[in-house]
Amino acid sequence: MKKLYSNKWLILIFLLPALILFCGVLIAPIGASFYFSLFNWKGIGPMKFIGLENYKELFTSNSIGFLKALGNALILAALSVFIQLPLALALALALGKKIKGERTFLAVYFMPVLISTVVIGQLWLKIYNPDYGILNVFLRSIGLESWAKIWLGTKQTAFGAVLVPILWQYVGYHMLLLYAGVKSVPPELLEAGMLDGASNWQINRYIVLPSIKPIIRISVIFAVTGSLKSFDMIYVLTNGGPMHATEVPSTLMISMLFLRNRYGMGSAIAVILILLCFGFALLINLIFRESEE
């Protein structure tokens, strides 16, 4: 059998489809994106080499608004980590306590993750609709007429209005991961804690949290990289407007590519996003490793 399993040709045949697919669609394009980002290129016609000019323009031009978009993505990342995750953790801890209806709560909380973001975005468009949306209808009905706003169309409120559904949709996802972690804490540990007279709070703080640290790390990485990449909800709700108020790097990249035909510039944004995602994943791993020592 050893001989059979060491056949170089067979190994290659088994690996080849995966290698072609993986390198062709994921690995090679990273290099290609970087290469394109060094050119001024309209997608067709001649490519003009301009070195790092695209990057320079992104970071210095005010009219493109890349720094604003990046800032928005970082705000979203921070809110994910400091609002969405604690909420998810609280739900996971509560559900981990063998509460009545545990499975129903879990199933419903996770449901928004499965529904297409386009559908959820369309629903929120209706909720925010200035004339008939239930938010303004509700505000008017309780006499807060003056609080009713054109939520997605006003520069001051648009970004906040976009953040709410984004943060809401994925609470269930992080809750599920953390809940799986809470459930995998050995019951003996919890019993030992209770025998020693630890309060609920102390058990959570000193037994459960330390044991689910690896999962918290994964959740933080997903929350941060997911925020940097966020696209769907913003595309549906505002597509970056009004006046770039809700712009994030992904929406900017798409409009660079397919509205303005600036393929080099679009690629430069893609490259920055790839670097940021890897960079933040490494950084978060490092922070968690530090705190373990």
Partner 1 sequence: MRNNSKAIRIIIYVGLVFWLLVNLFPVYWMFTFSLKSNAEIFGENVVGLPREWLWSNYATALKTGNMGRYFLNSAIVAVATIIITLLVALMATFALTRMIWKRQKKMNRFFMLGLTIPIHASIVPVYVTLSRLHLLNTYFALIIPYSAFSLSMGILVCTGFMNEIPRELDEAACIDGCGTWGVFWRIIVPLMKPAVATVGIYTFLQCWNELMFANIFISKSDLRTLPVGVQALSGQYTTEWGPIGAALVLATFPMLFIYIFLSKKIQDSFIAGAIKG
Rule CB under 8 A: which of 54-83 touch partner 1?
none
| Of residues 134-173, those binding partner 1 (CB under 8 A) | 134, 137, 168, 172-173
Which residue type, as a one-letter code, is found at position 158? Answer: A
Residue 197 interacts with partner 1 (CB under 8 A)? no
Q: Backbone dihedral region of 100: left (phi > 0), alpha (psi from -120 to 50 degrees) or beta?
A: beta
C-alpha 266/C-alpha 264 separation (Å) is: 5
65 or 121, CB closer to partner 1? 121
Helices first, then strands: H and E counts in the chain: 18, 2
Burial class (CB in 10 A: 0-12, 13-18, 19+), 105: middle
Minimum CB–partner distance for residue 268 and partner 1 (Å): 10
159 or 170, CB closer to partner 1? 170
Q: Are 251 and 188 in contact (CB under 8 A)?
A: no
Q: Which of 146, 178, 179, 148 is nearest to 161 (CA)?
A: 148
156 or 201, CB closer to partner 1? 201
Minimum CB–partner distance for residue 255 and partner 1 (Å): 12
Q: Could you give phi then psi for residue 225, rounded to 5 degrees?
A: -65, -35
Residue 5 interacts with partner 1 (CB under 8 A)? yes
C-alpha 241/C-alpha 260 separation (Å) is: 16
Among 203, 215, 245, 284, binds partner 1 (CB under 8 A): 215
Binding mask 250-279 for partner 1 (x = CB under 8 A): x--xx--xx----x--xx-xx--xx--xx-
| Of residues 82-121, those binding partner 1 (CB under 8 A) | 90-91, 94-95, 97, 99, 103-120
Q: Are 248 and 240 in contact (CB under 8 A)?
A: yes
169 or 244, CB closer to partner 1? 169
The tokens for 17 are: 């489809």
17 or 46, CB closer to partner 1? 17
156 or 194, CB closer to partner 1? 194
Minimum CB–partner distance for residue 192 and partner 1 (Å): 19
